[in-house]
Amino acid sequence: MKNILKLSIVALITLVAVSCKKEYSQVSRVVTPSYPTINFPNGKFFSIKVGDPTPQIVANAYDSSLKQAMGVTYDPTVIDNTTAGLYVVPVTSEKNGNGYFSADAAYVAVTNIDTAVSLNGIWDRQGFTTFQTLTEIKNGLYQVAGVGGAAAALGYICQKDSSSISFPTQPTAYGDMYLTQTSLRMISSRRDTMRYVVINAGFGTASRTFIKR
């Protein structure tokens, strides 16, 4: 009986030793993350009039570290060329050889706003020392630096007409963001007023008022 018990213990130890044996034949590979760059040969910003044909978005991706080209996917049907507003078209690259991908977006403004109208300039937030700066990219389509008065927040806005703007959900340094309860009052070039509420976890729920300098 003792011999049988000793034999069982030896067999158990041998089994554990075999199961714990390292497999040296497998070679580890260190992967340095690299992400494709999404390129827009015809640009990523567009402005059309209501009813005009939807612009053709052209995009491709390339990973310079891996020297690898790849395709992209996007859905242009999110653009409604019959309704004024800003349409954000997400663009995603295919995965590279290491399994990494990138995401970007194209922006299409649909507006009949007159080309002579301009929101360019610095807008001061009332009651605060912060401001936002609007720079026109295409007719009626503006880059907003300092959305909500937050310096790092960069987004894009469309002026639909003389009293309304459009800032749909879009990627920012603070994550996805959009504006609601928007209004625009154009009095003069130096007293135009813009109001909105920022919807984003990093912002409060108060309405923000900006007056153009």
Predicted confidence at residue 28, as pLDDT, reads: 67
Domain ranges of the chain: 32-110, 113-213
Instruction: Name the 3-class secondary structure at 138.
Output: strand
Cα separation, 53 vs 73, in Å, equals 21
Predicted confidence at residue 30, as pLDDT, reads: 75
Q: What is the pLDDT of residues 78-123, one digit of tens each?
A: 999 999 999 999 999 999 999 999 999 999 999 999 999 999 999 9
Does the domain at 32-110 match CATH 2.60.40.10? Answer given as yes
Q: Is pLDDT at 178 greater than 80 in this prediction?
A: yes
Q: Is pLDDT at 46 greater than 50 in this prediction?
A: yes
Q: What is the pLDDT of residues 141-154, one digit of tens each?
A: 999 999 999 999 99
Length of the chain: 213
64 φψ region: left (φ > 0), alpha (ψ -120 to 50), beta (else): alpha
Quickly state the pLDDT bin for 16 (edges 50, 70, 90): very low
pTM above 0.75, yes or no: yes
Alpha helices of the chain — where are they, by DSSP H? Answer: 2-19
Instruction: Name the 3-class secondary structure at 94.
Output: coil
Here the tokens at position 203 are: 């912002």
Q: Give the pairing type, strands 45-48 and 103-110.
A: parallel
Rg of the chain taking only CA atoms, in angstroms? 28
User: Which has more pLDDT, 53 or 16?
Assistant: 53
Query: Which of the listed CATH numbers 3.30.590, 1.10.760, 2.40.128, 2.60.40 matches domain 113-213?
Result: 2.40.128
Quickly state the pLDDT bin for 31 (edges 50, 70, 90): confident
Q: Is pLDDT at 69 greater than 90 in this prediction?
A: yes
